[in-house]
C-alpha cells in the first residue's frame, strides 16, 4: 500500500509563508505565553501532589473552579459561584456536549445570520437543522427571533452576543433582556458563546449573558483559547448549579472523569497569581493597536469597502462595494498572495456574498498592512 507522506505537523493550520491569510482566526504563535505556562507547569509539578494526574472530579477540579469563579466575578462584574461552572475542553467541546444532551437529530435550532461557520459543522454532525435569525448593529434581532418563534420552537438558540464572529456586533443591553424573556416565554435554551468577551479594546460591552445563567435558560460558554492558549483545550460552561451538575453526571464524564484535570491544574496557578489577567492586558494592548492598523489599511487601500471598527474580539466584517462576490474572487486573491474568509461561509442561506471576514490577531502590524495592500491591488485589478 502506498502511503501519503507523513504530515509532521503540530498545528492545525499550515499557512504558506508567501501568502498573507487575513482570514485566520487564531492567535499569532509568539503571543502564546510559553514562559508563563512553563512556570505554571513547573510550579504544579513541584507541589508534589499526584492528584491532578488521576481521574478528575467530573464537574472540574474544585480548586480550579473556585479560582475561575473568582476570575469571572471580577471580569464579569457579577457573582459567579464555583458550582455554576462545568469545565470543558473548550467551546467546541461544550457545543458537542450540548448537542448530545440538549437536542436530538432532526431538531431545529436557531443560529445567527451570519454565524460562526465551524459551529454549523458541529451542528451538522449531530443532524440538527439550523434556522437563521438576522444580526444587525445591535446584535441578534429579537424582533425577527420572536417572529421565528411563531413558526417553530428550537432545541436551542446559538448566539455569540459580544464581538460576534464574524459581524463583530454586540447585543445591546435591551436586547439581552428581551432575549432572556423570550427564552422563558417560549421555553428554549440560549447557548451563548462568550469567548471574545474579555478582549475589549474600546469601552465595555453589556454584562455577559452568563449573568442570567443561574435564574434563566442560559448556557454561557467560555474558553481559555482566546485569552491564553488554544492548545490547552480548556474552557467552561457557566449555568445553574443543577445544570452544571447534570453535565457532570452524563455518561462521558462518569466514565472518563473530568474533561481536563491535568491542564486545569496547571492553569490554576495563573488564575491564583494574576498571570492570566496580566496576559489579557498585554493581549488587549497588542490587539487594540493591530485593529487600528487594519482599520487604517482598509481606509487607505480599500476606501470603497464598508466596515465598523470593532470594539473587541478578533475580526473585521467588511462589505465590498457593488455586487462583488468574495468567494468568487478567492482564486484571484490567491494570485495576489492574500486570503480571507468569504461572507458566504457564515451564511446558512447562501447569502452575504459581498462580505469578507478579516482577522488582526495572527499577523503583526506590518503584515496586516501589507495584506490589505495586496487585497486592494487585487480588487482594483478587477474593476471595470
Residues in region 103-132 near its own copies by CB under 8 A: 104-105, 116, 118-127
Site for its own copies in 325-344 (CB under 8 A): none
Verify binding: residue 232, its own copies, rule CB under 8 A. Answer: yes
Closer to its own copies by CB, 206 or 231: give it. Answer: 231
Tell me how far, at minimum, the Cβ of 174 lies from its own copies, in Å.
Answer: 27
Closer to its own copies by CB, 95 or 379: give it. Answer: 95
Verify binding: residue 239, its own copies, rule CB under 8 A. Answer: no
Verify binding: residue 41, its own copies, rule CB under 8 A. Answer: yes
Our CA dihedral for 79, 85, 88, 94, rounded to 10 degrees, sits at -80
Tell me how far, at minimum, the Cβ of 283 lies from its own copies, in Å.
Answer: 14
Site for its own copies in 277-336 (CB under 8 A): none
Residue found under cell 474572487? 329
Binding mask 61-100 for its own copies (x = CB under 8 A): xxx-xx--------------xxx-----xxxxx-xx---x
Verify binding: residue 53, its own copies, rule CB under 8 A. Answer: yes
Let me know if 348 is exposed, middle or buried by CB neighbors in 10 A (0-12, 13-18, 19+): middle
> Which residue spans within 245-285 are E strands per DSSP?
none
Cell numbers placing 147: 417572529
Verify binding: residue 51, its own copies, rule CB under 8 A. Answer: yes
Among 159, 168, 169, 263, contact with its own copies (rule: CB under 8 A): 263
Let me know if 213 is exposed, middle or buried by CB neighbors in 10 A (0-12, 13-18, 19+): buried
Verify binding: residue 159, its own copies, rule CB under 8 A. Answer: no
Are 241 and 248 in contact by the 8 Å Cβ rule? The answer is: no
Verify binding: residue 29, its own copies, rule CB under 8 A. Answer: yes
Tell me how far, at minimum, the Cβ of 127 lies from its own copies, in Å.
Answer: 7
Tell me how far, at minimum, the Cβ of 83 lies from its own copies, in Å.
Answer: 6
Closer to its own copies by CB, 33 or 75: give it. Answer: 33
Verify binding: residue 102, its own copies, rule CB under 8 A. Answer: no
Site for its own copies in 191-230 (CB under 8 A): 214, 225, 229-230
Closer to its own copies by CB, 37 or 142: give it. Answer: 37
Tell me how far, at minimum, the Cβ of 347 lies from its own copies, in Å.
Answer: 17
Verify binding: residue 50, its own copies, rule CB under 8 A. Answer: yes
Let me know if 366 is exposed, middle or buried by CB neighbors in 10 A (0-12, 13-18, 19+): exposed
**CB count, 10 Å around CB of 186?**
16
Cα 9 from chain centroid (whole Å): 24
Among 15, 19, 32, 373, contact with its own copies (rule: CB under 8 A): 32
Verify binding: residue 10, its own copies, rule CB under 8 A. Answer: yes
CA distances from 32 to 20, 29, 67, 151, 208 (A): 20, 6, 21, 46, 25
Tell me the site size for its own copies, rule CB under 8 A: 87
Verify binding: residue 246, its own copies, rule CB under 8 A. Answer: no
Closer to its own copies by CB, 19 or 43: give it. Answer: 43
Closer to its own copies by CB, 232 or 294: give it. Answer: 232
Provide CB contacts within 8 A for 163, sequence distance 6+.
170, 196, 197, 199, 205, 310, 311, 312, 313, 314, 315
Tell me how far, at minimum, the Cβ of 155 lies from its own copies, in Å.
Answer: 13
**CA gap 352, 119 in Å, rounded:** 17
Among 27, 130, 166, 313, contact with its own copies (rule: CB under 8 A): 27
What phi-psi label fits residue 201: left (phi over 0), alpha (psi between -120 and 50 degrees) or beta?
A: alpha
For the sheet containing 156-159, what is the strand order?
A: 85-88, 235-238, 218-223, 189-193, 156-159, 108-113, 129-136, 139-140
Binding part of the chain for its own copies, among 177-185, 252-260, 299-307, 339-347 by CB under 8 A, reads 252-260
Sign of the alpha-carbon dihedral angle for 40, 57, 227, 356? positive
Cα 47 from chain centroid (whole Å): 33
Element spanning 146, H or E = helix 142-149
Amino acid at each position: 500500500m502506498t502511503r501519503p507522506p507523513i504530515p509532521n505537523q503540530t498545528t492545525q493550520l499550515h499557512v504558506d509563508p508567501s501568502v498573507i491569510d487575513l482570514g485566520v482566526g487564531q492567535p499569532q504563535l509568539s503571543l502564546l505565553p510559553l514562559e508563563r505556562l512553563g512556570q505554571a507547569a513547573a510550579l504544579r509539578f513541584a507541589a508534589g501532589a499526584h492528584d491532578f494526574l488521576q481521574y478528575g472530579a467530573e464537574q472540574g477540579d474544585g480548586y480550579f473552579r473556585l479560582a475561575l469563579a473568582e476570575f469571572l466575578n471580577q471580569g464579569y462584574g457579577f457573582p459567579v459561584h464555583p458550582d455554576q461552572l462545568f469545565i470543558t475542553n473548550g467551546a467546541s467541546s461544550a457545543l458537542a456536549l450540548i448537542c448530545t444532551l440538549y437536542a436530538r437529530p432532526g431538531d431545529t435550532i436557531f443560529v445567527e445570520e451570519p454565524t460562526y461557520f465551524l459551529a454549523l459543522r458541529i451542528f451538522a454532525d449531530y443532524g440538527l437543522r439550523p434556522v437563521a435569525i438576522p444580526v444587525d448593529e445591535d446584535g441578534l434581532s429579537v424582533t425577527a427571533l420572536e417572529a421565528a418563534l411563531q413558526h417553530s420552537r428550537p432545541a436551542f438558540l446559538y448566539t455569540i452576543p459580544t464581538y460576534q464572529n464574524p459581524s463583530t456586533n454586540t447585543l445591546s443591553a435591551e436586547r439581552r433582556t428581551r432575549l432572556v424573556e423570550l427564552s422563558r416565554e417560549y421555553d428554549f435554551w440560549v447557548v451563548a458563546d462568550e469567548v471574545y468577551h474579555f478582549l475589549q479594546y474600546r469601552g465595555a460591552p453589556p454584562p455577559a449573558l452568563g449573568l442570567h445563567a443561574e435564574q434563566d435558560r442560559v448556557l454561557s460558554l467560555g474558553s481559555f483559547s482566546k485569552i491564553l492558549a488554544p492548545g490547552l483545550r480548556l474552557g467552561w460552561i457557566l449555568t445553574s448549579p443543577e445544570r452544571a451538575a447534570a453535565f457532570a453526571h452524563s455518561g462521558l464524564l462518569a466514565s472518563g472523569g473530568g474533561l481536563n484535570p491535568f491542564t486545569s491544574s496547571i492553569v490554576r496557578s495563573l488564575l491564583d497569581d494574576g498571570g492570566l489577567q496580566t496576559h489579557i492586558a498585554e493581549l488587549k494592548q497588542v490587539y487594540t493597536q493591530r485593529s487600528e492598523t487594519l482599520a487604517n489599511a482598509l481606509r487607505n487601500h480599500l476606501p470603497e469597502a464598508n466596515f465598523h471598527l470593532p470594539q473587541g474580539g478578533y475580526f473585521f466584517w467588511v462589505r465590498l462595494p457593488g455586487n462583488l462576490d468574495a468567494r468568487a474572487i478567492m482564486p484571484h486573491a490567491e494570485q495576489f498572495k492574500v486570503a480571507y474568509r468569504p461572507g458566504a461561509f457564515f451564511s446558512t442561506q447562501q447569502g452575504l456574498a459581498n462580505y469578507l471576514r478579516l482577522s488582526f490577531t495572527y499577523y503583526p502590524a506590518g503584515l496586516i498592512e501589507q495584506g490589505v495592500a495586496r487585497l486592494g491591488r487585487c480588487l482594483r485589478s478587477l474593476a471595470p
